[in-house]
Chains A and B, each alone.
Chain A
Amino acid sequence: MLPLPSFALYAPTTLDDALALLRDHGPDTTLIAGGTDLLPNMKHGLLAPRHLVSLAQIPALRGVWVEGDVLRLGAMTNLETVAAHEVVLTRAAALAEAALSVGGPHHRRMGTLGGNLCLDTRCRYFNQTYFWREALGFCLKKDGTKCHVVEGGQRCVAAASNDTAAALLALEATIELVGPDGARSLPIRDFYTADGIANTTRAPQEIVVAVRVPLRPARASVYEKLRRRAAIDFPMISLAARLDAEEGRVNALEIAVSALAARPRMIRAASQAQGKSLAEVPRAAIAEAAFKECAPLPNIEGDPAWRKKLVRVLADRALRRLGLGPA
């Protein structure tokens, strides 16, 4: 089998101890949550940290809490728990659907919400063994200088492939981090960047602590995922939509799309729904606009032209499930 590089493993029981370990061992240190992304990547030689700091033994990171009108989910809560939690299911359905669509049952048992949010970007030229990548001549994201997705490309366009990101973007979530300089929190839409090499603003010594999802009355959300198989596969298109409606009128509609390039994007045309009655929402026009706004790349599997068309279909299906537009 592919050998896993050697490393030292630490399992602190408090956040302070974890931060101290990150500080003491310096840059050659990586956090490990469930390991479902990290360990295969290490076997592929994508990274070989000498020190791994596990977050699995820190109780404060695990749990789902309702705090007033906020749903707070600890970063180490596994995806299986997130997907089955009653409040998530009823008040933040897109997140439940997204969590349930990750991998297979084993991945969801091991994989965590924080880990999924920090999932490394994926690319057909990156997620391969060292042997394969060497035969390719390596790539921009790791060990090389050339992008094989965009000819002459100077910026890595590996795809954000975390299912929960699009859902949490649509749900206006906030992400809590703690680092050497203390705690901070930021809207999740500011968490991701367009840099495929490292697509989050998390500093190497910061730890994702929790995610906060506002619970609004009359809010509905859905998640749609394009993949070839009904399990295991990463998204080829990831799309979440959230609707706030009052008395049959749209207060707000937001659509987030991911698995395009490094940064998930919000669909501008969703604002066309504003103020309309549910049945009057121009579903087809919004889906068409989503299709035009998104440009899938040959960075992950699936004909990009087909994936682009499927943005329209997924957007239409999401809006239909939210009861928008003509029946």
Chain B
Amino acid sequence: MTGLVGKPGRRGDLVRRVRGEVCFTDDLRLPRMLFAKILRSPHPHARIVGLDATKALALPGVVAVLTGKDLPVRFGIIPWTPDEHSLVVEKARFVGDGVAAIAALDERTAARACELVEVTWEVLPPVLDLDTARDQPAIGLGASGKDNVSKVVDLAFGDVDAALRGSALVVEGDYHFEGTAHAPIETHCALARYDSDGLLTVWSTTQVPHYLHRELSRVLQLSPARIRVIQPPVGGAFGGKSEPFGHEMVVAKLAMVTGRPVKILLTREEEFYVHRGRHPMRMHFAVGAQRDGKLTAVDAKTDIDGGAYSSFGLVTTYYSGQLLTLPSFAPNYRFSSTRYFTTKPPCGPKRGHGSVQPRFAFEITLDKIAVELGLDPIEIRRTNAVPGNSTLNGMRITSNGYLECLARVEAASQWKERRSKLGFGRGLGVASSAYISGTNYPIYPNEMPQSAVQLKVDRSGVVTVFNGASEIGQGTDTLLATIVADELGLDLGCVRVVSADSDLCPVDLGAYSSRGTFMNGNACLMAVREVKHKLVTAVAEKLAVPPADVFVTRGFLAARGLENQAIPVDEAIRLAEARFGTLGATGWYKSPPGLGGSYRGGTIGASPAYSFTAHVAEVKVDVETGFVEVVKVWCAHDCGKAICPSLVEGQIEGSVYMGVAEALLEEHLVDHRGLHAGPNFLDYRIPTSLDVGDVEALIVESIDPEGPLGAKEAGEGPLHSSIPAVANAIFDAVGIRLDRLPFSPARVLAALEAKRSV
């Protein structure tokens, strides 16, 4: 350790980003490039009876038209549920489903040509809510065509019924979440080139270039050896770019058909249609407790609105139950989750995949129990903190900073002095959560590494990290540069990171499930330590000392007792290159085998390490208008070890802002016609800088034994409990329980009036 790890500092590309020097996918221009547009279904559910593109093809400037027939192979992120076509083959399943694609000399012509494609539709009955999905199986959106079911998970641990019967108190409630979108500033964009040597290159705004590589190969029936996938810098993803998309297949096919590069940039409206946002969920929770606050059992029943396609839905359905058993929980648990298909934009993973919604339900229930029993809501969480190194459902815990998280937010918010003492209209609420640091198993079963880097060490003193992982704003590039620079004593500016290019970088599975720091960090540490060993050996030989006497410090390698003969790092690199030949190293990470429960689905939710989070929110409620202001949020997050603390703070702040926005403002609504209620940034409101309160990020370091330098995730965990913390604070402020998100002023005012009239 040479002093870079754990020190505040800015992201490596910060200045270039702020000054507009970063080249995003849409900034790329290739000679002879065409522009594509996709014609989309105006119906939530309809069969294509006829499709005539003659007029569109005849429009001057139009070069090619594709329809579903040109791309007949289905794809999907989960190998067991490939149910998407690049363009609709038979039935459109939501308003916005892609039907045909046009490549033209310019974007305006392509858009105009879309309007000239004549589609004859047979309109089919839509499924726009969970009741219809459950009660009208004949509509047949499911794989069997006999129901609308996407996935059912029923798991039980212990005797829930007996435990509930024996409880002093059982709190039951229904909770609703209507869905939210990722709302990245950069909409999806893809560019494809098919050259005369038969190489297809696709640049895309993806956070999973490797899975895109695989699915391009499958859909285009092209060997992966003839495909190169490049992920340029991404302008926000949040899970919305974590699977292959139809438009990526479309531009690749159009490039192959036309022999010219083809680009597509989705509009903001289309961004809301391709979606993969957080799933709407309807949750029923019954939680039992003894008088002392000790929980007895949790019984959860959840209906999940998956939208049109499977996406990650299989995982979502498991996550809706599996990830609830930390950090405070009961010894008996049953959950039954059913994901239904509906004719709405497909849902998928958004920051905190699948588990943010049940966390909302559970943490409010816990608050209700504490209030009912007259206990301090922080104390009841301590009482029920899961002990030991394993959860009820078989998840292995290697490090746990949960109690410290609680203590930190308790102290920082002056919880004991201020809770319930701020007067009517103002209050404090607490909630807590835990999250995975990467899924222990890859999406497609294999024994290869999940993460990898290659280091190139140049005699100029520059080390380049060829890194498979996806930098999507979370800072993995900076993390790797910090690890390498710190190990070798280099300046950060002497480490370059080249990421997410399938021709240059080894495979990494992508930026999802909060796996970057843990897996990519470990891979990088392994590689750089091999290089370090060579430098140390070469320097030891040069100074004629045993290697154990050599140490790395900022800018130099030196030997104990011979500090005045310290050798600059670049000189050490040249010595090592002379001694060992051209320098380089590979590093990889494979998660430990056998993690997770030994039951069906027991591996979903298994992670090499778990992060822990506690939130306290302070709110002010305007009892005349119903507006809730989140004055401040204290968030303590156990990230194991903050290698780049400024980035950890950034992730905490970003997570809290996103969570508070979902608590107060955001709602992804599809109306009774199947139309999105407002697919634009005026109707779908994300907060402006004036709409967010203060956030105090409190870093807790539990030093995970398997994490790189002890580190765990920080990108998603700090979101989860921010939402119920706000709900619980509203109760503390004005005594109302809000079980439906978001807490719009109309809902708050209605609840206040209902309470007054009681």
Q: How far is the CB of B63 from chain A (nearest CB, A)?
A: 17
Q: Do the beta carbons of A301 and B108 come within 8 Å of each other?
A: no
Residue among A1, A6, A135, A226 with the highest chain B CB neighbour number at 10 A: A135
B40 on the A face (CB < 8 A): yes
Contact pattern, B 608-624, Cβ under 8 Å of A = 1, otherwise 0:
00000000000000001
B residues with a Cβ closer than 8 A to A are 40, 42-43, 95, 107-108, 111, 265, 267, 269, 624-626, 665, 673, 675-680, 682-683, 685, 687-688, 690-691, 744-746, 749-750
Residues of B within 8 A of A229 (CB): 665, 685, 687-688, 690-691
Q: Do the beta carbons of B111 and A3 come within 8 Å of each other?
A: yes
Contact of B683 among A104, A124, A305, A306 (CB under 8 A): A124
Residues of B within 8 A of A223 (CB): none
A233 on the B face (CB < 8 A): yes
Q: Do the beta carbons of A310 and B625 come within 8 Å of each other?
A: yes
Q: How far is the CB of A303 from chain B (nearest CB, A)?
A: 4
Q: Do the beta carbons of A232 and B682 come within 8 Å of each other?
A: yes
Complex CA–CA separation, A136 to B670 (angstroms): 12
Q: Do the beta carbons of B688 and A232 come within 8 Å of each other?
A: yes
A132 on the B face (CB < 8 A): yes
18 inter-chain pairs at a CB distance below 8 angstroms, sorted by A residue, are A1-B107, A104-B688, A128-B678, A128-B679, A129-B269, A129-B679, A131-B40, A132-B675, A135-B675, A136-B675, A226-B625, A230-B690, A231-B691, A233-B682, A301-B678, A305-B746, A306-B746, A313-B625
Q: How far is the CB of B147 from chain A (nearest CB, A)?
A: 27
The answer to whether A230 and B267 touch (CB under 8 A), given A135-B42, A306-B626, is no
Residues of B within 8 A of A302 (CB): 746
Residues of B within 8 A of A104 (CB): 688
Closest residue of chain A to B622 (Cβ to Cβ) is A313
Q: Do the beta carbons of B688 and A132 come within 8 Å of each other?
A: no
Given A129-B679, A135-B42, A135-B673, 12 further pairs, Cβ under 8 A: A2-B269, A3-B107, A128-B678, A132-B676, A134-B42, A228-B665, A229-B688, A230-B688, A230-B691, A231-B690, A303-B746, A313-B624
The answer to whether A128 and B107 touch (CB under 8 A), given A104-B688, A232-B688, is no
Residues of A within 8 A of B676 (CB): 132
Interface size grouping (class) on chain A:
20 to 34
A234 on the B face (CB < 8 A): yes
A127 on the B face (CB < 8 A): yes
Complex CA–CA separation, A230 to B665 (angstroms): 12
User: Restricting to A217-232, which residues have a CB under 8 Å from any CB of B?
Assistant: 226, 228-232
Tell me the dominant secondary structure on chain A's binding face.
Answer: loop
A309 on the B face (CB < 8 A): yes
Q: How far is the CB of B353 from chain A (nearest CB, A)?
A: 27
Residues of A within 8 A of B43 (CB): 135
Q: How far is the CB of B681 from chain A (nearest CB, A)?
A: 8
A residues with a Cβ closer than 8 A to B are 1-3, 6, 104, 124, 127-129, 131-132, 134-136, 226, 228-234, 301-303, 305-306, 309-310, 313
Complex CA–CA separation, A57 to B685 (angstroms): 35
The answer to whether A228 and B685 touch (CB under 8 A), given A3-B108, A134-B42, A135-B42, is yes
Complex CA–CA separation, A306 to B680 (angstroms): 23
Residues of B within 8 A of A135 (CB): 42-43, 95, 673, 675
Q: How far is the CB of B738 from chain A (nearest CB, A)?
A: 15
Q: How far is the CB of B755 from chain A (nearest CB, A)?
A: 16
Residues of A within 8 A of B749 (CB): 306, 309
Q: Do the beta carbons of A127 and B682 come within 8 Å of each other?
A: yes
The answer to whether A306 and B267 touch (CB under 8 A), given A3-B108, A313-B624, is no
Q: Do the beta carbons of B265 and A1 come within 8 Å of each other?
A: yes
Q: How far is the CB of B292 from chain A (nearest CB, A)?
A: 42
Q: How far is the CB of B691 from chain A (nearest CB, A)?
A: 5
Q: How far is the CB of A272 from chain B (nearest CB, A)?
A: 21
Complex CA–CA separation, A306 to B685 (angstroms): 18
Complex CA–CA separation, A181 to B675 (angstroms): 46
Q: How far is the CB of A146 from chain B (nearest CB, A)?
A: 12
Residues of A within 8 A of B624 (CB): 313
Complex CA–CA separation, A129 to B273 (angstroms): 13
Residues of A within 8 A of B108 (CB): 3, 6
Residues of A within 8 A of B265 (CB): 1
Residues of A within 8 A of B683 (CB): 124, 301
Contact of A136 among B625, B673, B682 (CB under 8 A): B673
Which 7 A-B pairs rank lowest in CB-CB distance, beginning with the nearest? Answer: A230-B690, A306-B746, A135-B42, A3-B108, A303-B746, A231-B688, A313-B624
Q: How far is the CB of A10 from chain B (nearest CB, A)?
A: 22
Residues of B within 8 A of A124 (CB): 677-678, 683
Residue among A229, A231, A234 with the highest chain B CB neighbour number at 10 A: A229
Complex CA–CA separation, A77 to B83 (angstroms): 56
Closest residue of chain A to B626 (Cβ to Cβ) is A306
Q: How far is the CB of B120 from chain A (nearest CB, A)?
A: 15
